[in-house]
Amino acid sequence: MNKPLSDFAASLPGDAVDTAGLRRLLVRDLVLTASIGIYEHEKAAAQRVRINLDIAVDDGPPAADRIDAVVSYEPMVLAAREIVAAGHIELLETLAERLAARCLADPRVRSARVRVEKLDAFPDAAAVGVEIERRQPASPAGGVH
């Protein structure tokens, strides 16, 4: 006997059920040159960082075929470029937090997962980095802004 799809979805572990009704906006492998790091040699020369963004937005009724009807990835790419260009940042964690905050500035964004990696930190490692996930704060009524 075949189970209804709703029974199957309810039996999935973790956030498989939690992400129902969300659209994922992705920016993959954006490589920028950044002044980042705590060591003197890092402060003296910029280095490559790779940025990945996974943004969850409410997936309502089908949107019109217009850019103003959806959350666009372009402002997020532009924000990443702007943050990196603004000046030296000590920690990857700080860069990740700034990127997440910019993504969450759009109230339609429910959560932002941000991965930032230094590509040239160690010759025997492809990358080192940090990944964070931040969510919109819950409203007093228990919902999302």
Q: Tens of pLDDT along 33-89?
A: 999 999 999 999 999 999 999 999 987 766 677 777 788 999 999 999 999 999 999
Q: What's the one-letter identity of residue 89?
A: I
Mean pLDDT of all residues belonging to the chain: 86
Q: Which pLDDT band, with edges at 50, 70 and 90, does 130 fall under? A: very high
Q: Is residue 80 part of a domain?
A: yes
Q: What is the average per-residue pLDDT within 123-127?
A: 97
Q: What is the CATH number of the domain that holds 119?
A: 3.30.1130.10
Q: Is residue 82 part of a domain?
A: yes
Q: Is residue 73 part of a domain?
A: yes
Domain tally for the chain?
Answer: 1
Q: Is residue 142 part of a domain?
A: no
127-142 burial: b if 16+ Cβ within 10 Å, else e: eebbeeebebeeeeee
Which residue range is the domain that position 114 belongs to? 16-135
